[in-house]
Amino acid sequence: MNHTNQEIHLKKEVLEKIIRAFFSDNFKENTRLIPFDMRPKGSDILYRCCIYKERAILKDRVIAGLGFSIEGDDETIDLSKYATKALERENPEENPLTVIETACKGCVPNRIYVTDLCQGCVAKSCQSACKFGAVSIVNGKSVIDSVKCKHCKMCITACPYNAIIKIVVPCEDACPVDAIKKNVNGNVQIDYSICICCGKCIMSCPFGAVCEKSQIIDVLKNIVSGKRVIALIAPSIVGQFQGNVYQLKSAMIKAGFSDVYEVAQGADITARNEAEEFTEKIKTGEPFMTTSCCAGYSQFIKKHLPEIKPFVSGTQTPLYYIAQKVKTLHKDTINVFISPCVAKKREAHGNNNVDYVINYEELGALFVAKDIKIEDCQEDKFDVESSKQGRRFGITGGVVGAVSKLLEGKNLVKQYVINGLNKETIKQLKKMVKDKKCTEGNLIEVMGCEGGCIGGNATVCMSKIAHRAIKTLSEQSKDILK
C-alpha cells in the first residue's frame, strides 16, 4: 500500500478534524463545519469538478468517520445531527464497510478487450488459444464475448501484436471473492453476503470511495466518561509509529487509555494450543492443519469454503485470549482492540470481551489531534513481556514459526505459508480440500494480506519498515515457553 498518496492524507485529515471537534467546546457544530473548513470558499485544492461536489464527498467521509453507513444517508440531514447520533449510539453498526457513491468513478467492469491494434491476422492465434470459445472474428477483427470469457488471459499471451489487454478496475480486481458489484448507476456496491472484509478494496480504490466505518467516537465517549478503557495492541503495531513499543504504550495512556496490553501475550496462548492440536491431528492421521488467526480467512471459510473446516485449527485467536484475560482481571473494563485491518471488526462483533476496534490510522489521528509525539514519551514497560515468537505473529511465517518452535525436535512439522488470499491462493485451498492433502506441507499458515498483518488496509507505514522493526523487537525477547 502507498502510505504517502493524497487519498491517504485526505482520510487522515478528516479523522483528525473529527477528533478535534469531539474535544472542542461544540462537537456538533464543529463537525458540521468540517467540509467547509477543509474546502473554504476560493479553495485552490480541488480533486473534483467543483467545490460543492468536493464538500459533498467530504461530508460522506465524515459520516463514515462518525461510524455510519453512507448508503443510507438522507442528504437533508446535516453533520451536526450525525454527531448527535454518534454520541447517543450504544453499539457500532454490524457491517464495517461503506461506499461513497459520489466519490466512485463508476469504472467499466473488469474485462479482456481487443484494441484497435488488432491486425486481423491469418493465424488467429487468439482464437486458437481460447479454450472457452470466447474469441470470434467479426469483420476481420477479433471480438471477445464477455459472457464466455473466463479471464484466463491466454488470448493476451497469444496475440503477436499485444493488441489484447485486460481492463482493470482496481477494487474489482483486488477483491479475492468477487464481492464488488455495480449498482444501476454503475457505481460500486458491496455484496456483504459474500464479502470477507479483507480490506483490499479500501487499499486499491484510488478515489477512496470504499471506507471503513470508524468507532473512534465510541471509544472517546468512554474515555471522557471516566470508564476504564484498555487498549489491546496487535503485534503488527510495532514499527507503525515513531518511537518504540514502550514509548507507544506511554503515548496511548497519555491519549486517555487506562492501560495497554500486547495481543502478543494471547499469541503465545494460541501457539501453545495450536501445537497441541496439531500434534493430535497428525497422530490421528489428518493430512494437514491450517491456522485460524486471520479474521479475513475465518470469514472466507464461513462464506466460501466451509468444506475446509475439518482441516482448520479450532484454536481461538490471540485477540480472543488476551481480551478474555483482561476482562477476567478487570470486569468493568472497556476493551479496545487496535487493529491493522477492517476484518477484525467482524471478529470483534461476535466477541463479548471486545467492545470496540479502532485501526492504526485512527490511532495516529488521535495522536496528531492531541499533539502527542510518541518519540518524546518515556518508556513504559509491560507487566508481562511477550515472547519472541508471539511478537512475530504480525508477519508472514510468524504463526507457523511459533508452533514449530514449540514442537522443535519432534520432527512433526512441515511448514507452508499462503501469503495473502487472492484468486490463485484460493484455488490452492480448494485443491487441498478436494484432494484431502497438501503436498507443500502439513502445517499451513493462511494470511489474508501479503506480508501478514503488516500488509493490512489500515497500516500506516511500509511493510519493509514494519517487518524490520518487529524482527528487531523480537530478537530482544525471550523464546516462547513450552
DSSP per-residue codes, 37-58 = HHS-TT-S--SSSSHHHHHHHH
**CB contact burial 360-387 (16+ within 10 A = b; e otherwise):** bbbbbbbbbbeeeebeebeebebeeebb
All three cell numbers of 247, joined, read 514509548
Q: pLDDT digits over 152-175, tens only?
A: 999 999 999 999 999 888 999 899
Q: Report the relative pairing of strands 334-339 and 210-212 from DSSP bridges.
A: unpaired
**Mean pLDDT, range 282-297, rounded to an integer:** 94
Q: Select the highest-mean-pLDDT range: 106-110, 138-142, 255-259.
A: 255-259
pLDDT of residue 468: 96
**Mean pLDDT, range 213-222, rounded to an integer:** 98
Dist CA 371 CA 188 (whole Å): 37
Residue 102 dihedral angles phi and psi, to the nearest 5°: -70, -20
Domain ranges of the chain: 6-104+178-212, 111-167, 218-475
Using CA atoms, how far residue 143 sits from 138, 156, 305, in Å, is 6, 12, 35
Contacts of residue 52, defined as CB under 8 A and 6 or more positions apart, other chains included, come to none
Dist CA 136 CA 94 (whole Å): 46
> How many residues can be counted in the chain?
482
Return the ∠ at Cα 40 (arms to 38 and 41), rounded to 5°: 160
Contacts of residue 69, defined as CB under 8 A and 6 or more positions apart, other chains included, come to 63, 93, 95, 98, 213
Dist CA 338 CA 22 (whole Å): 20
Mean of the per-residue pLDDT values for the chain? 94
Kind and range of the H or E run holding 136: strand 135-138
Model confidence at 3, pLDDT cuts 50, 70, 90, reads: low
Contacts of residue 482, defined as CB under 8 A and 6 or more positions apart, other chains included, come to 272, 406
Dihedral sign for Cα 255, 256, 259, 263, please.
negative
CB atoms within 10 A of CB 472: 12
Model confidence at 413, pLDDT cuts 50, 70, 90, reads: very high
What is the percent of the chain with per-residue pLDDT over 90, rounded to a whole number? Answer: 84
Dihedral sign for Cα 454, 455, 459, 462, please.
positive
Give me the amino acid identity at 321: Y
Q: Which fold has domain 111-167?
A: Alpha-Beta Plaits (3.30.70)
Which CATH code is given to the segment(s) 218-475?
Answer: 3.40.950.10
Residue 261 dihedral angles phi and psi, to the nearest 5°: -120, 145
360 within 8 A of 237, measured Cβ to Cβ? yes
Dist CA 175 CA 448 (whole Å): 11
229 within 8 A of 366, measured Cβ to Cβ? no
Category of 199 on φ-ψ map: left (φ > 0), alpha (ψ -120 to 50) or beta: left
99 within 8 A of 210, measured Cβ to Cβ? yes
Q: pLDDT digits over 456-478, tens only?
A: 999 999 999 999 999 999 999 99
Model confidence at 74, pLDDT cuts 50, 70, 90, reads: confident
pTM score: 0.91
Give me the amino acid identity at 66: L
Contacts of residue 165, defined as CB under 8 A and 6 or more positions apart, other chains included, come to 112, 113, 115, 156
Contacts of residue 301, defined as CB under 8 A and 6 or more positions apart, other chains included, come to 308, 309, 312
pLDDT of 77 > 80? The answer is: yes
448 within 8 A of 198, measured Cβ to Cβ? yes
Q: pLDDT digits over 114-124, tens only?
A: 999 999 999 99
CA–chain centroid gap for 175, Å, is 12
Dihedral sign for Cα 462, 463, 464, 467, please.
positive
CA–chain centroid gap for 243, Å, is 24
pLDDT of residue 4: 57
pLDDT of 295 > 90? The answer is: yes
